[in-house]
């Protein structure tokens, strides 16, 4: 399709903070946005040109939504696949429904990465009681048993240290299809944000070092303080994944950093077909944020090199931390972004703060 011109309407599936920041970025480029999400706390509605509050499976509402937009994107991957496949038949959908299907299933995702020859932890499929022992044999112990679908921020996974605990772990996860992954004793974690458009242009941001607490991203440090060769390897992997998917949009790749006598190397943890929390720092420290880059990529616009003008540390504000907004708002050299969510639950991402340090 031809590049989308300013004034067109971009549809966004999902009404959370990522949808909100995508809508804000689209507005800067002259686009209108229409956000579609089920009933709930949808802060993206507050900044969009229009919104539809309806179930993902409501085909009448989806049809009206498709007629009102020039193309559709999505803010997160835990969306039922069928509605997006239906939408893709009526209006351009980027990233594609095929990419979404891969990343919704941990087994399909890990198999895809392994088939590309990219480094991942040992893994095995678990769908039947007979698979439990086979998974331990293939992966070794300790391992992490994860649901194949709909897990994030540490949800849907159980650590298994003894073979005799596998059955109980699978029972705890509801006996649903799972993937067993070898436990990785990593030195730290890192991420790579890449963007690709329909002409095959690919750009990558600097690699942040990421810090998680209770499985939730807490801080990103940029620069990561890792050897140049490690960051170059992450860039190559992200580009390879984007090209293999014939991807359009922003893609996040999360890594474990392993350290041994030979130095440091990367192991891919998972990928996300969307803008990502590990790229929120780009909003304050780069001329073009990941959110604007995603809009540019899906609209078929050129992708400028995402140069970083400042070193920074991005910190998520969780739960009631955002209630103390006056303190970060008064901090010199800090950029505060609050999401406008109604309810501050423990561990819920309510905003982020990026502290800048000029290079």
Please write the tens of the pLDDT for every residue from 217-232: 999 999 999 999 999 9
Question: Rounded to an integer, what distance in angstroms lies between the CA atom of residue 126 and that of residue 216?
Answer: 25
- Tokens 């970025």 — which residue? 25
Q: What is the reported pLDDT for 153?
A: 57
> Residue 66 corresponds to which tokens in the numbers above?
């498709």
Q: What is the reported pLDDT for 2?
A: 86
Q: What is the reported pLDDT for 358?
A: 74
Supply the DSSP string of 72-134, one letter for each residue: EEES-S-S-HHHHHHHHTTS-BSS-HHHHHHHH-HHHHHHHHHHTT--B--EEEE-SHHHHHH
Please write the tens of the pLDDT for every residue from 42-75: 999 999 999 999 999 999 999 999 999 999 999 9
> Residue 279 corresponds to which tokens in the numbers above?
């790229």
pTM of the model: 0.95
Question: Rounded to an integer, what distance in angstroms lies between the CA atom of residue 168 and that of residue 185?
Answer: 24
Domains defined for the chain, CATH in brackets: 9-93 (3.40.50.20), 122-182 (3.30.1490.20), 188-358 (3.30.470.20)
Using H for helix, E for strand and C for coil, what is the string for 54-65? CCCCCHHHHHHH
**What is the end-to-end Cα distance of the chain in Å, rounded?**
40
Q: What is the reported pLDDT for 151?
A: 66
Q: What is the reported pLDDT for 359?
A: 66
- For the chain, which residues score pLDDT lower than 50? none
Strand, helix or coil at 220? strand
Q: What is the reported pLDDT for 80?
A: 86
């Amino acid at each position: 399709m031809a590049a989308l011109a300013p004034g067109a309407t971009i549809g966004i599936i999902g009404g959370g903070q990522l949808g909100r920041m995508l809508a804000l970025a689209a507005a800067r480029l002259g686009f209108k946005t229409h956000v579609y999400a089920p009933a709930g706390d949808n802060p993206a509605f507050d900044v969009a040109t229009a919104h539809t509050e309806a179930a993902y499976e409501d085909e009448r509402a989806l049809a009206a939504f498709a007629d009102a937009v020039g193309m559709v994107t999505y803010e997160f991957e835990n969306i039922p696949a069928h509605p997006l496949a239906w939408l893709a038949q009526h209006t351009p959908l980027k990233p594609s429904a095929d990419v979404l299907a891969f990343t919704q299933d941990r087994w399909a995702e890990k198999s895809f990465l392994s088939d590309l020859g990219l480094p991942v932890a040992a893994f095995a499929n678990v769908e039947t009681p007979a698979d439990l022992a086979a998974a331990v044999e293939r992966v070794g112990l300790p391992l992490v048993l994860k649901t194949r679908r709909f897990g994030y921020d540490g949800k849907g996974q159980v650590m298994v240290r003894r073979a005799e605990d596998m059955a109980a772990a699978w029972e705890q996860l509801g006996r649903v299809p799972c993937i067993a992954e070898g436990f990785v004793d990593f030195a730290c974690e890192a991420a790579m944000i890449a963007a690709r458009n329909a002409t095959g242009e690919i750009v990558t941001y600097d690699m942040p070092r990421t810090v998680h607490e209770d499985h939730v991203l807490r801080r990103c440090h940029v620069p990561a303080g890792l050897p140049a060769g490690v960051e170059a390897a992450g860039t190559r992997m992200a580009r390879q994944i984007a090209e293999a998917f014939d991807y359009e949009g922003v893609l996040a790749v999360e890594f474990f950093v392993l350290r041994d006598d030979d130095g440091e190397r990367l192991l891919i943890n998972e990928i996300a077909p969307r803008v990502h929390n590990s790229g929120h720092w780009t909003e304050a420290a780069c001329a073009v944020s990941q959110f604007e880059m995603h809009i540019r990529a899906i609209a078929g616009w050129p992708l400028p090199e995402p140069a970083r003008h400042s070193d920074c540390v991005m910190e998520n504000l969780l739960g009631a931390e955002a209630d103390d907004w006056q303190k970060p708002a008064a901090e010199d050299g800090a950029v505060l972004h609050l999401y406008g969510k109604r309810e501050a639950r423990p561990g819920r991402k309510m905003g982020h703060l990026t502290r800048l340090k000029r290079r």
